[in-house]
Amino acid sequence: MSQERRLEVLRAIVQDYVRTSEPVGSKALLDRHQLGVSAATVRNDMAALEDEGLIIAPHTSAGRIPTDAGYRIFVDRLQQVKPMSKAERAAIERFLAGAVDLDDVVARTTRLLAGLTQQVAVMQYPSLTRSSVRHIELVPVGGARLMVVLIVNTGRVEQRMVETGRDLSSEAELVAGLRNLVNEQAVGQPLTAVPGRLATVSERMAPEDRPLVEAVARALADATEESTEERVVLAGTANLARVGSDFPTTLSQVLEALEEHVVLLRLLQAVPTITEGDGDSVTVSIGAENPYAPLRTTSVVATAYGGAGNLGVVGPTRMDYGQAMVAVRAVAHYVTEILDE
Residue 157: CATH number of its domain: 3.30.390.10
The residue-averaged pLDDT of 287-302 equals 87
Query: Where does 187-320 have alpha helices with state H?
Result: 194-203, 210-223, 238-242, 251-259, 261-269
Q: What is the CATH number of the domain that holds 235?
A: 3.30.450.40
pLDDT for 71 beyond 60: yes
pLDDT tens-digit series, residues 113-163:
999 999 999 998 887 777 889 999 999 998 889 999 998 888 788 888 988
Domain count, the chain: 3
CA distance 58 to 60: 7
The answer, yes or no, to whether residue 44 has pLDDT greater than 70, is yes
pTM: 0.79
Cα–Cα dist 216/178, whole Å: 10
Residue 294: per-residue pLDDT:
82
Domain assignment of residue 301, yes or no: yes
H-state helical runs in 81-235: 86-97, 102-117, 172-186, 194-203, 210-223
Instruction: Tell me how many helices (H) and strands (E) the chain has.
Output: 13, 10
Instruction: Give the pLDDT of residue 147.
Output: 93
Query: Domain of 69: which CATH number?
Result: 1.10.10.10
Containing structural domain, residue 137: 130-223
What gap in Å lies between CA 147 and CA 202, rounded to an integer? 18
Which range, 25-29, 78-82, 106-110, 165-169, is most confident? 106-110
Per-residue pLDDT of 151-177, as tens digits, reads: 888 878 888 898 888 888 888 898 998
| 17 and 59 both lie in a single domain | yes
81 in a domain, yes or no? no
